[in-house]
Amino acid sequence: MSSSKTCFQQLEDLVRAKYPIVYVLTFEEERVQTALQQIARNLSRQFRTWSYPKGFSPDQYAVPDISAGRRLPPELEALAHIHAYHEPAVYHLKDFHVYMNDARVIRLLREMAAKLKDDSQTIVITSPVLRLPTELEKCVTVMDFPLPGDAEIAAVVDAAIAGSKTHKDLVCDYSQSEREQLIGSCMGLTLDEIESVLALSLVQKKRLDVDVILTQKQQIIRKSGLLEYYPSTVSFQNVGGMEYLKEWLKTRTDSFSDRARHFGLPVPKGVLILGVQGCGKSLVAKAIASHWNLPMLRLDVGRIFGSLVGQSEENIRMAIKVAESVAPCILWADEFEKGFAGSQGSGVSDSGTTMRVFATFLTWMQEKTSPVFIIATSNDVSALPPELLRKGRFDEIFFVDLPDSGERAEIFAIHLRIRGRDPSQFDLKRLAEATPQFSGAEIEQIVVGGLYRAFEAQREISMDDMLAEAKAVVPLSKMMSEEIEQVRNWAKNRTRPASRNDDRS
Ligand SMILES: Nc1ncnc2c1ncn2[C@@H]1O[C@H](COP(=O)(O)OP(=O)(O)O)[C@@H](O)[C@H]1O
Ligand SMILES: [Mg+2]
């Protein structure tokens, strides 16, 4: 991610090069305003902000009277004033995007582009969302203003530490590594948010406390509605089978460290895990997060691509931004195919938006250099757009099949152990033989069902309880054998098997 220092530079370069209209995507208009003030000073230009309903400020700004007695809507009046003013200037129009679907505003902005250039003027629009009509795409330059980077956060943290020294009941001694942890934990927050969480921490704990910051950060991320922190306690020991996939993942432990970079390793991009429902795809995703000891953000795919049609593109940009700011982290898109329901031409199809959102995501995946590891899981291969499966998007595509008998025995053992039973007291081989074509989820249900039987009869669980359960259950794969066979054939040449899986019966 580019730091905000270079962002400031980028913005200054655009103004200096007389770009007429710049659209800055940001949640922090105050920060951009401060930057623009500085830039205007550096380039000896006037600086004005405009917002509705306040109008221009500073308001001593002598506005030429162009209305000739007529009252214009405020947004048109603002543009008319700029049109009539010829000194070199930087105009900061806040949230002007709400007017940018008005034909008159569009027309005026297009007409003004040349004039702005001639007069060394730049209009800078700030908005948290991108709403750019096609007509304006050519004369408006869009840039991202990322969240504060290391240096800016360090300044705020240091100021808070310095401030603590003047209060005798506040802790003000922090080791170098504590200070670094504090800075790291503020990543992903806006400057305002950082100031508030630091203040809150001082009030609650009388010190700057990483846990307070992280708790607040989780709430802020949850509020965005697209991503949530997913605390994972699942370990690889709880995942039966999939030895190839587990090995692949274990080899990549620490691959986000500086040590790995110095060693010459590329940053892993991500993995796509396809396969049969209930066989542990989501489970193994959760296990990666704990094994790698990285925070995991779960992406609500349905929400991103889903109903909020007009906002979908901003949603994905926002989610990417947040994920990058938390990096190194894992971004988990569970049941990824759900996002593409709209592109399958069903009823209220909105494939245009869906595909644009998807393209944004793909481009990011292709080009990203930030340490965000993507885990996408999917039950339905046919719903996924083929572009996703092309080389270079993911490091690897794994296929998770129904567990073979050895794996089923392992999964029985896991679920018995989780529920406080000693697996060595059971004939696991026989249980595996009694459950051909069962998924991991179904095996778990047999253990749970067996426990219910035993509990009702007020005795300890026995082999018979589980064997009786197994007889009573028809595995989903029996009903869907054709579909599963199709997916298997599809997967044969396109994916890597998650496990050896040599006897599937
Ligand atoms: N290979 C496995 N090892 C252990 N438990 C499993 C396995 N596969 C499935 N399960 C159990 O079934 C549950 C549901 O599996 P899940 O990971 O959601 O399947 P999927 O995402 O492939 O549809 C898991 O939470 C776990 O309890
Ligand atoms: Mg799942």
The confidence score (pLDDT) of residue 348 equals 45
367-400 per-position pLDDT tens digit: 888 889 999 999 888 888 888 888 778 999 999 9
Asked if residue 113 lies in contact with residue 19, where contact means CB atoms within 8 angstroms, the answer is no
Mean per-residue pLDDT, 316-343: 80
The answer for residues whose C-beta is within 8 angstroms of residue 331's C-beta and 6 or more apart is: 227, 270, 296, 297, 299, 323, 372, 373, 374, 375
Residues near 29 by beta carbon (within 8 Å), at least 6 away in sequence = 92, 94, 95, 126
Least confident of 345-359, 414-428, 446-460: 345-359
**Tokens found for residue 370:** 């930030």
Cα-based distances in Å from 496 to 201, 242, 245, 396, 500:
48, 11, 9, 8, 10
Tokens of 1: 């991610």
**Residues lying with their CB under 5 A of ligand 2, a single-atom ion:** 282
In angstroms, the CA 444 to CA 424 distance is 17
Q: Which residues line ligand 1 (CB under 6 A)?
A: 239-241, 277-283, 377, 379, 411, 414, 440-441, 444
- Hey, which of 244, 279, 379, 435 would you mutate to test ligand 1's pocket, going by the most ligand atoms within 8 Å of its Cβ? 279
480 Cα–ligand 1 center, Å: 18
What are the pLDDT digits (tens) for 33-56? 999 999 999 999 999 999 988 888
Query: Which of 96, 102, 163, 164 lies closest to 130 in space, CA to CA?
Result: 96
Q: Rounded to the nearest whole angstrom, what is the distance from the C-alpha of residue 280 to the centroid of ligand 1?
A: 3
Whole-number Å distance between alpha carbons of 480 and 439: 12
pTM: 0.72
CA 102 to chain centre: 32
**Is 324 in contact with 365 (CB distance < 8 Å)?**
no
- Taking alpha carbons only, the member of 438, 466, 227 closest to residue 323 is 227
Taking the centre of ligand 2 as the mean of its atom positions, its distance from the CA of residue 383, in whole angstroms, is 15
Strand order of the β-sheet with 89-94 is 55-57, 46-51, 89-94, 121-127, 21-25, 140-144
| Residues 302, 285: Cα–Cα separation, whole Å | 18
Give the residue whose CA is nearest to atom 12 of ligand 1.
441
- pLDDT (tens digit, 9 = 90+) per residue, 356-367? 778 888 888 888
Atom 17 of ligand 1: nearest residue by CA position: 280
